[in-house]
Amino acid sequence: MYQIVTIPGDGIGPEVTNEAIKVFDAASKKVGFTYQLTETDFGGDRYLKTGEILPDAAIDEFQSADAIYLGAIGHPDVKPGILEKGILLKARFELDLYINLRPVKLYPGVETPIKDKGPKDIDFVIVRENTEGLYSGIGGFLKRGTPDEVAIQQMINTRKGVERCIRYAFEYTKKRNKENKLTICDKRNVLTYAHELWQRTFDEVGEEYPEIEKDHALVDATTMWMVKNPEWFDVIVTCNMFGDIITDLGAMIQGGMGIAASGNLHPGKVGMFEPIHGSAPKYTGENKINPIAAIAASGMMLDHIGESEAAILVENALIDLLASQKIKDFGAGRMGYTTSEVGDMIADAVATS
């Protein structure tokens, strides 16, 4: 029996989590596995009521689960940064979820803003380092609030951290077995220490993968190619900050934030799955938000726990619904269906597949 922990979180997080778990449940019944769900209430409301963000005891419990499902974090009454750092980043760091895996796949029937590009052109995966870089939280102020103020935010790159990420990306590219091409995205022409380490590590680890084609793109050029020639990419590996930025661009070219899903992983350990979108507080409780990204994230969670057959059923149900073009627009309130109706359609498709 799998142990699944949910953190529905803030805003529309609980609504999309409901649909994600609805589909997960349909898949479990279809392929025949059991699971136990533990729901937690970490998020803005709990913080405002109790002052507690994400206690260490919760992290200990997460460690022993098979997967964690996160809806969305971000509350209008909480200063930006507190919940993001205190919940999302804390979970990523404390659980050492060093990979953030973000597929960029345009499904048939979904519109991309890129002229003349279709599903065969937009199908790649971004492997984002998830525990270091500019996200390490090391730094501080000197003479804060004075005209002489200094703010330092360190970018941390360890050989171990860079190497395990790059190694994962090579392994993933090999397993994906599509173009067998891995592109490293960096800024080696300016970050001549940090990204020299990335470059050297990429070259060294790459020697172990002669069958994988190696490519390099500077991050600014990467954003250009993602729009101009997205078909050039198979798998991209990049640092935390650049990965954050280019995956939002990736989400847009695959049809928007309503579709993009991600997994925070440490192979062999608990993983955390989430839609890329935020908590969209203004739509809270309206049953209007698109749950597709959230459902896609539950598909990734199925794959992670080892239920790949169930994961395929969920992806196929998503593909069929999108290809049918019943949903004309993926924006909140413009789908022509409610959040729960979209979840029902996908869950039913999984159940009857």
Which residues are part of the catalytic machinery? 135, 187, 220, 244, 248
CB 182, CB 234: distance < 8 Å: yes
| Site for ligand IPM, residues 257 to 286, rule: CB under 6 A | 276
With beta carbons less than 8 A apart as the criterion, state whether 342 and 22 touch. no
- Closest CB to ligand IPM among residues 84, 348: 84
- Judged by beta carbon, residue 132 or residue 244, the one nearer Mn ion is 244
Closest CB to ligand IPM among 194 and 276?
A: 276
Is 17 in contact with 82 (CB distance < 8 Å)?
no
Q: Among residues 25, 45, 61, 84, which is the contact residue for ligand IPM, using CB under 6 A?
A: 84
| 244 contributes a contact to ligand IPM by CB under 6 A | yes
**Contact call for residues 42 and 9 (beta carbons, < 8 A):** yes
Tell me the residue number closest to ligand IPM, measured at CB. Answer: 84
Name the minimum Å distance from CB 150 to ligand IPM: 24
Contact 260, 247 (CB under 8 A): yes
Is residue 94 a contact residue for ligand IPM (CB under 6 A)?
A: no
DSSP state of 60: H
Q: Which stretch, 21-29, 83-91, 159-167, 300-308, contacts ligand IPM (CB under 6 A)?
A: 83-91
Contact 123, 244 (CB under 8 A): no
Beta strands (DSSP E) in 81-231 are 99-105, 123-129, 139-142, 150-153, 181-186, 213-218
Query: Which partner in ligand IPM, Mn ion, none is near 5 (CB below 5 to 8 A by kind)?
Result: none
Q: Is 88 in the site for ligand IPM (CB under 6 A)?
A: yes
Query: How far is Cα of residue 258 from the mean position of the Cα atoms in its chain?
Result: 12
Rounded Cα distance between 216 and 155, Å, is: 21
Nearer residue to Mn ion within complex by CB, 170 or 273? 273
Unique residue bearing structure tokens 């998020």: 43
> CB-side exposure of 82: number of CA atoms within 13 Å?
16
Q: How far is the CB of 62 from ligand IPM (least distance, A)?
A: 17
Which 213-252 positions form the footprint of Mn ion (CB under 5 A)? Answer: 244
Nearer CB in complex with ligand IPM: 26/243: 243
CB 41 to ligand IPM: min, Å: 19
Identify whether the C-beta of residue 280 lies closer than 8 Å to the C-beta of residue 11. Answer: yes
Residues numbered 180 to 209 that lie near ligand IPM (CB under 6 A) are none
Size of the site for ligand IPM (CB under 6 A): 5
Q: Which of Mn ion, ligand IPM, none sits in contact with 260, Cβ below 5 to 8 A by type?
A: none
Least distance in angstroms from the C-beta of 273 to ligand IPM:
12
**What's the residue count for the chain?**
353
For the bound state, the minimum distance from the C-beta of residue 244 to ligand IPM, rounded and expressed in Å, comes to 4
Q: Return the C-alpha torsion angle 44, 49, 50, 54, nearest 10.
A: -10
Q: What are residue 151's DSSP bridge partners?
A: 141
Minimum Å gap between C-beta 135 and ligand IPM is 7
**Separation of CA 280 from chain center:** 17
Residue nearest to Mn ion (CB): 244
The CA distance from 329 to 105, in Å, is 17
Chain residues binding ligand IPM by CB under 6 A are: 84, 88-89, 244, 276
Chain residues binding Mn ion by CB under 5 A are: 244
